[in-house]
Amino acid sequence: MISVTFPDGASRQFEPGVSGTEIAKNISPSLAKKALAMAVDGRLSDLADPINHDVRIEFVTRDDPRGLDLIRHDAAHVMAEAVQTLFPGTQVTIGPVIENGFYYDFYRKEPFTPSDFAAIEKKMAEIIALDKPFTKEIWTRDDAKAWFETHGEAFKVELVDSIPGEEDLKIYRQGDWLDLCRGPHLPSTGKIGNAFKIMKVAGAYWRGDHTKPMLQRIYATAFASKAELDAYLKQLEEAEKRDHRRLGREMDLFHFQEEGPGTVFWHPKGWTLFQTLISYMRRRQQEADYVEVNTPQVLDRALWETSGHWATYRENMFITTTEDERVFALKPMNCPGHVQIFKNGLKSYRDLPLKIAEFGVVHRYEPSGALHGVMRVRAFTQDDAHIFCTEDQIMDEVLKINDLILSIYRDFGFEDIVIKLSTRPEKRVGSDEAWDKAEAALGRVLEKLGHQFKTGINPGEGAFYGPKLEYTLRDAIGREWQCGTTQVDFNLPGRFGAFYITAEGEKSVPVMIHRAMFGSLERFTGILIEHYAGHLPLWLSPLQIVVATITQEGDDYAYEVMAAARKRGLRVDGDLRNEKIPYKVREHSLAKVPVLFVVGKKEAAERTVSIRRLGSNDQRTLGLNEALDELANEGLPPDLRQAS
């Protein structure tokens, strides 16, 4: 007999060879009906797989995130069968699960178009309704290659050759249709459900290589329930309305052009918003005892070799060779420059922690297809800082960073935050001992924070020089954005020979804590635009007030109003054109100006303004000084408002 232990610690005895399906039925018929797969000693497996030794087992159901991945995985197989049924001669390649859905790459001479989607979805629904079982078979490589060659599946033949010889070659059937796949799968197609939708079609090179055939990639999504699918589609619809690229044009904030791919052309209003963010962050950092520095944009290759970037990050760097054959790189990160500042002059334990901050412009190569407005660029500004400290100071400093990050996010309207620990990646520098210490330090912090916040682990997602805490915030429509990071680094200072003098007079290498709060200011700007759908809070709005005249008789008073507003520190402009007020209101509403002062002969005589707020049809009249007092307070950044 073998012992099967369940998540609650209970265990039962079974004959060797028992399947997950049989175990689920033994527990309860309802569990057998709900189960989609099983995790055997933490590894996902088919319910039909036999169990021959003592194990820990957990059943995966539709409300489990792992269950959703399986639903999407199987929906990809069903979509591939539907496509090959409707379009004979189409070759299938690969169809992985991705964030928010899945795709499948096909080779076909004729292009797929959105007009094909309805027919594919209908055929998928028919296959799902047949409730065909997914069955696994182990084939020899020769048999698999012979079968795929016979059926004209050249890409699958290549995939068979790429599978390591020690791995089983698995074939999954759903009725008569089959595919090469590692698995696992649901018990049958019927378990997928009807909550799926094809989203779009795009081109993709086979294996991402432009020298290989162009394929057609059909993107789709699937959810455990129709309600979840509908909510997702509604979120996409709302996200399209909030697209920062469209709003950026309407608000006249920035633009992009081919001569500078992945770099932002900031317009006056956009640059005002950008500088408002920097000014806010500068005040918060000064209050927290950071000193601000600036380091060179271009540095010699030797520095990047010492830091480890040349060996681990070179493909992301912009490199240039000068006429005297010196090799330089545009900096992708600020940290090596900050170590040089720390090294310049003798430091003692009394100087620690030393907090160095920089609004550093960094350049990183992103593939053209990955660029996306201000969210994904090749040149961006980091609110970067590095804290040089002792090992004993790590916990206190990371907790201070945590408090500062969360306070800042609250000021921008973000309350729902998830904190995750990203551990050592395969490609890294430093000893395992150093990584053990760094991960243990952040692990203690995460454990402490776990009582107040949602936390988790991202295995293998750390930076090449150290593990990190990642701060992910949720926006107004439920999307998640990873922004702030805190990284503990036992490696970089030592690689550059940095040290401080201890109380005993000995040399010791400092620990370096890397910290960013907005992360990329460009990306955070895009997040803010989409979070607020362009309706930025008054303190953030690059243009806070437009004074619009009804007739020319109000022009002189309009200039007085603008001058008075500027004296109160408000950002104001005038619209004295010979246009009707409804036209002016529409135009400035489209540009997301939060406040409109309407003035004419009557307002000039009474020293009042008629106030219209963005998003409201109401209009109210206030005395000029009263209106400016109200807006001057609202226009203060949160940190200054609290201080006053």
Q: Which two tokens stand for residue 316?
A: 């992301």
Catalytic residue among 382, 393, 487, 544: 382
Decide if 483 is catalytic. Answer: no
Catalytic residue among 197, 514, 523, 531: 514
Nearest to 439 by CA among 460, 417, 419: 460
DSSP assignment of 183-212 equals: ----SBGGGG-S-EEEEEEEEEEGGG-TTS
Alpha helices in 87-186 (DSSP H): 117-129, 141-150, 154-162
Decide if 386 is catalytic. Answer: yes
Torsion of CA 415, 421, 427, 429, to 10 degrees: 110
Catalytic residue among 73, 132, 216, 335: 335
Element (H, E) at 247: helix 244-250
- Phi, psi angle pair for 398, to nearest 5°: -65, -40
| DSSP-based helix, strand, coil % in the chain, nearest 5 | 40, 30, 30
Decide if 389 is catalytic. Answer: no
Decide if 468 is catalytic. Answer: yes
Catalytic residue among 62, 386, 428, 592: 386
Q: Which two tokens stand for residue 321?
A: 């060779």
The CA distance from 340 to 358, in Å, is 14
Decide if 41 is catalytic. Answer: no
Cis omega before residue 184 (within 30°)? yes
Catalytic residue among 156, 355, 468, 588: 468
Task: Sort strands 177-180 and 169-174 into parallel, antiparallel or unpaired.
Answer: antiparallel
Q: For residue 348, what is the DSSP state?
A: B
Catalytic residue among 77, 156, 242, 364: 364
Nearest to 487 by CA among 507, 517, 508, 509: 517
What crossing angle do the helices spanning 141-150 and 154-162 adopt, rounded to 10°?
A: 170
* Residues with catalytic function: 335, 364, 382, 384, 386, 468, 514
